[in-house]
């Protein structure tokens, strides 16, 4: 999967403002951080935030270390990468390519948009805290205007200044480097399940979950004006969107054509429009159709009308948990010895009548395999897992504190990702219901 923005380009581009209640999409942060990000291993967090405290939901054990020197060197790495990326861009220009990633054909796309909209080079001053932003909350999201993440930012913070970023890594770093105040991250979908890569990102960075929103997602099939369904031989979108519309595309619309995954839904729409592609349709929102001048060929094409995506809001500092409204707490833990650990951990919540809303396991990135020697049988190899659990209680609730104290006894690593108000907005299904 590739970004629709030139992946080697570096810049913040100015884009139009949108009317309320959608957030104000002002700038696109699309400095490329792939290589810079690789320099930040888990021991080199770029977070400048103070160490989290248990009371504020930053309870952690066995987590990564960080200090001012790490932060400064991370900034230096990022700044030097920015300069070299910029030079590469100048050398290579921006060719419009289809590449092969993990065996899939993907688009390496360069939008040919009006030159006022082309990314402007990021300078070192763009990486320092910007005191001129005024009182508006700046919320970084992955994608371009019209992406669902932008809508989620607008739902969480109606008056916010939404900052598009070409990658999640960039959205995280925008917050860590004080370019943005919050990042918005899709974490699970009612049809597609958990977005695993984003869970991995939560662990690699030191941001705190400070809120959640659940957004009904209503997909449209978009094409250039005058293009009919019969002309389409390719559908492009975010992989979640492609998966969420698979049945409708094939069974209802008869579109047994190539699918190609790109970084975000609205970026797919922008690409079709910017390149005048008459054989390609994008799956994206009605707002993306409006922003990029595309027609809606089919409306509400998600296979299940109750298609909800859950997003979390991330900040440098945890919020102070409260007990006067429903809160949720997200934790991640690992264990390296003992039996029935998962059972014991879950009982710590069950005995205190704390409901779990999610449990997810992910192979441990740094320690994927555990060897268990057995002289009679040989060497057994088990996957090592990280477990992600969400439970319905605030860290200000003594039951949650006691449960976590107990969990800590059975685990080798425990981190509270955040304790935050639950999204209690009434169920509002997709528009076509
Ligand atoms: O690509 C987008 O617009 C996103 O925000 C990610 C996404 C994709 C599909 C459903 C929900 C969110």
The CA distance from 250 to 230, in Å, is 13
pLDDT value of residue 226: 97
Which residues are near ligand 1 (CB < 6 Å)?
A: 143, 147-149, 186, 217, 238, 240-241, 264-266, 309
Which of 23, 139, 148 to probe ligand 1 with, by most ligand atoms within 8 A of CB? Answer: 148
pLDDT value of residue 364: 76
DSSP strand pairing (369-374 vs 378-383): antiparallel
3-state SS, 135-194, equals: CCCEEEEECCCCCHHHHHHHHHCCCCEEEEECCHHHHHHHHHCCCCCEEEEEEEECCCEE
| Residues of the chain below pLDDT 50 | 2-21, 25-27, 30-116, 118-133, 431-433
CB count within 10 Å of CB 427 equals: 8
pLDDT value of residue 380: 65
CB count within 10 Å of CB 158 equals: 12
Tens-place pLDDT, residues 68-111: 344 344 434 333 343 344 444 334 333 333 333 223 232 333 33
Closest residue by Cα to atom 9, ligand 1, is 241
Which of 240, 270, 300 to probe ligand 1 with, by most ligand atoms within 8 A of CB? Answer: 240
* Among candidate residues 78, 71, 90, 75, the one with its CA nearest the CA of residue 32: 78
Q: How remote is the CA of residue 72 from the centroid of ligand 1, in Å?
A: 33
- 123 carries an active-site annotation: no
Tens-place pLDDT, residues 247-271: 999 999 999 999 999 999 999 999 9
- 323 carries an active-site annotation: no
pLDDT value of residue 152: 97
For 310, how many CA atoms within 13 A lie in the half-sphere containing its CB?
A: 22
pLDDT value of residue 117: 57
pTM of the model: 0.72
93 burial (CB, 10 Å; 0-12 / 13-18 / 19+) is: exposed
Which of 149, 151, 163, 286 to probe ligand 1 with, by most ligand atoms within 8 A of CB? Answer: 149
Q: How remote is the CA of residue 62 from the centroid of ligand 1, in Å?
A: 33
The CA distance from 61 to 379, in Å, is 30
The CA distance from 282 to 265, in Å, is 7
pLDDT value of residue 174: 96
Q: How remote is the CA of residue 97 from the centroid of ligand 1, in Å?
A: 23
* From 168, 172, 311, 387, the catalytic residue: 311
């Amino acid at each position: 999967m590739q970004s629709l923005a030139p992946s080697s380009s570096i810049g913040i581009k100015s884009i139009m403002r949108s009317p309320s209640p959608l957030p104000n999409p002002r700038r696109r942060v699309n400095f490329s951080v792939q290589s810079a990000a690789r320099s930040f291993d888990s021991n080199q967090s770029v977070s400048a935030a103070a160490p989290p405290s248990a009371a504020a939901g930053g309870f952690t054990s066995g987590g990564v270390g960080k200090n001012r020197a790490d932060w400064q060197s991370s900034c230096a790495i990022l700044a030097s990468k920015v300069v070299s990326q910029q030079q590469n861009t100048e050398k290579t220009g921006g060719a419009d390519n289809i590449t092969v990633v993990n065996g899939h054909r993907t688009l390496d796309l360069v939008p040919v948009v009006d030159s006022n909209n082309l990314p402007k080079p990021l300078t070192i001053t763009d990486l320092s805290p910007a005191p001129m932003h005024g009182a508006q909350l700046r919320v970084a999201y992955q994608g371009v205007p019209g992406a669902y993440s932008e809508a989620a930012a607008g739902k969480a913070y109606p008056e916010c200044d939404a900052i598009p970023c070409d990658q999640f890594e960039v959205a995280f770093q925008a917050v860590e480097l004080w370019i943005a105040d919050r990042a918005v991250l899709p974490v699970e979908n009612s049809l597609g399940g958990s977005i695993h890569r984003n869970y991995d990102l939560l662990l690699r960075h030191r941001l705190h979950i400070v809120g959640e929103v659940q957004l009904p997602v209503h997909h449209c099939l978009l094409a250039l004006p005058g293009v009919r369904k019969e002309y389409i031989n390719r559908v492009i979108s975010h992989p979640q969107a492609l998966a969420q519309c698979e049945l409708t595309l094939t069974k209802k619309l008869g579109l047994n054509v190539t699918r190609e995954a790109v970084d975000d839904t609205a970026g797919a729409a922008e690409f079709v429009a910017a390149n005048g592609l008459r054989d390609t349709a994008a799956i994206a929102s009605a707002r993306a159709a409006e922003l990029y001048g595309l027609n809606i060929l089919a409306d509400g094409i998600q296979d299940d009308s109750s298609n909800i995506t859950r997003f979390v809001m991330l900040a440098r500092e945890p919020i102070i948990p409260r007990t006067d409204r429903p809160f949720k707490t997200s934790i991640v833990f690992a264990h390296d010895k003992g039996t029935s650990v998962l059972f014991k951990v879950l009982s710590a919540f069950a005995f205190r009548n704390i409901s779990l809303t999610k449990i997810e396991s992910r192979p441990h990135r740094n320690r994927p395999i555990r060897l268990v020697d057995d002289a009679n049988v040989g060497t057994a190899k088990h996957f090592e897992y990280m477990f992600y659990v969400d439970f319905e209680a605030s860290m200000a609730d003594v039951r949650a504190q006691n449960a976590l104290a107990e969990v800590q006894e059975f685990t080798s690593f425990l981190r509270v990702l955040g304790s935050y108000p639950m999204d209690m907005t009434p169920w509002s299904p997709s528009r076509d219901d």
